[in-house]
Amino acid sequence: MHKLAKEIIEKRISKLVDEYDYEKRKKKNPEECQCYQQNKKCHDVENLNCLFCFCPNYNLGVREGRCKINSPSGKYIETSNGKIWDCSDCDWPHKKDNAEKVLMKLYNFEQ
């Protein structure tokens, strides 16, 4: 990646993550999510961050899915398509600091 592009991205990661704050998204884009429309968070997290609505740690490489960071709160649930990993009790990807860490790792920036 070009050095200038890397610098620009790195400087803007925090701002990008901040734009996905639950309270901000709910006000700016209420049609974007049922949770915004119902004024009900999907996770009971202070300062909930919605950037990673779909967790980047969900392992799709396993037939039934699984948590890559081995979240202790997850469990399998039965669906019409078989078992899937239910991580609804996990709040890891919905914390601002963790969302920033994921982006930094995706762009291979030092943490």
Number of domains in the chain: 1
pLDDT of residue 24: 95
- The answer to whether residue 111 is domain-embedded is no
- Residue 24 falls within a domain, yes or no? yes
- C-alpha radius of gyration, the chain, whole number: 16
Instruction: List helix spans (H) across 1-111.
Output: 3-19, 22-28, 34-38, 96-106
Residue 102 lies in a domain: yes
Place of tokens 């950037």: 51
The pLDDT value recorded for residue 71 is 65
CB 86 within 8 A of CB 74: yes
Residue 65 lies in a domain: yes
Token duo for residue 60: 């799709």
pLDDT at position 10 is 84
The answer to the question of residue 18 being in a domain is yes
The tens-digit pLDDT sequence of the chain (111 residues) is 788 888 888 889 999 999 999 999 999 999 988 889 888 888 888 889 999 887 787 777 777 777 777 666 667 777 776 777 777 777 888 889 989 988 888 887 765
> Would you state the structure tokens that stand for residue 20, as one six-digit string?
């996905």
Give the domain range for residue 43: 3-106
